[in-house]
Amino acid sequence: MTKQTAAVTATSASVSLREAFLYWLKLGFISFGGPAGQLGMMHQELVDKRRWISEARFLHALNYCMLLPGPEAQQLATYIGWLLHGAKGALIAGLLFILPSFFILSLLAWLYLAHGEVPLVQGLLYGVKPAVTAIVLFAAWRIGKKTLHTRALKLLALAALIGIAVFKLPFPYIVLAAACIGLLLMRFWPAQLTVPPVSHGSGTAHAAAGDAVINDNTALPKWQLFSWRRFVLGIALGLGIWAVSLGVLVLLYGWHSPQAQLGWFFTKAALLTFGGAYAVLPYVYQGAVEHYSWLSALQMIDALALGESTPGPLIMVVAFVGFIAGWTTQLLGPDMLPLAGMLAAAIVTFFTFLPSFLFILVGAPLVESSRKQAAFTAPLTVITAAVVGVIVNLALFFGYHVLWPQGVSGSFDWFALLLGIAAAIALFRYQQSILRVLAVSALAGVMIW
């Protein structure tokens, strides 16, 4: 008990709540590049520079978040916030990850609806898209370098890429297959799951891992210990918050009102986001555009473009969708359109991210208790390898739409290719920061536009 208390004290002394708050606030404003770019940012800052968490603990938390529906980068930030400071830390990290994006996208949606096309924004988007493609490739390389240690894991990453790119396999099927393969490897070829020590290039890899505030030897503080009582109470509390929130909307506006339907529809969408935002965007498109007619197909495409170019998880495009829905349906009358848009965006964001907080606050203690169990960690190791292939596919998807904006039958964008190559060289060769690469690319896009 003395060791455990000492570990908690060391953690609190090493990373104060104020220090963590300032970092998560900063991350909320600079987390460009989609989930892959955001994961790369957190790894570089928290593992390599600040050493708040060791490589193994970071990847273990990431593996769990990859299994969940919802934005994995936001969930990972919430998880690490929970590891550092419990439920309070989780709420701070998770909320600060999405709030800047919420306000930025709401402002852009207002400009988009009230003032029509903004040439400056079009130029920014034009320059950022090739850079985002390079950032996603760079993040895949970074994560792959840390996880693809054996031939089997490399082959699995390639198989996942082929499966999702060529055979269009749904991401949940890839996750399930990877988990099963992980169990088989654990049983028959355990050496293929061996993770070598992390090298920082100075011969002090073991010291670096041990120096991390949260590492393999850190005793579990009280809030990280699994308890069936807390597990059941947490689920009941989360479901209660959801039911009361949706019930209030139904009582105030009626079940068939846009407010209630926004809450119900995006609850379902939040539970289908296995594999990140791109896995659920077709569902959002069908519901918001075709079924409810909250916005047009062109507005949905513009929402995606803005979501790619603003900080925060890509799934935050739903805030843009919600703002337009509130505006077009005139929730509060024709004289209060901006306020109606903000209300709808807030409803959508709340119901989209509520499950993510519930999964972390309720599930993280169970995940931490299984950290030393091979039956749990082996499938997650293989899942991480498969996710590398999925991230590469995302980069290919970006690259295709950036280089052939009108499809293969249209013209090839040579400037976008040159900008993407320049961004890749800056990242891979010269190790420039993601934010700097995005800023220069955006400036170039404005100038050429």
Q: How far is CA 195 from CA 116, 136, 156, 330, 340, in A?
A: 53, 24, 16, 56, 52
Average pLDDT of span 326-342: 91
Among 239-248, 255-264, 403-412, the minimum mean pLDDT is found in 403-412
Q: In sequence order, which ranges of 273-336 are alpha helices (DSSP H)?
A: 277-285, 297-309, 317-328
pLDDT given at position 98: 94
pLDDT in tens, 195-204: 554 443 434 4
Give me the residue label for tokens 């290719």. Answer: 417
- Write the pLDDT tens digit of every residue in 252-300: 999 999 999 999 999 988 886 655 565 566 678 778 888 898 988 777 8
Alpha carbons within 13 angstroms on the beta-carbon side of residue 193 total: 23
| 117-130: average pLDDT | 77
Tokens 């499966």 found at: 163
CA-closest candidate to residue 30, choices 42, 20, 21, 19: 42
**Three-class SS state of 230:** helix
- pLDDT for 100 beyond 90: yes
Mean pLDDT computed over every residue of the chain: 82
Mean pLDDT over 351-369 rounds to 90
pLDDT for the residue numbered 401:
79
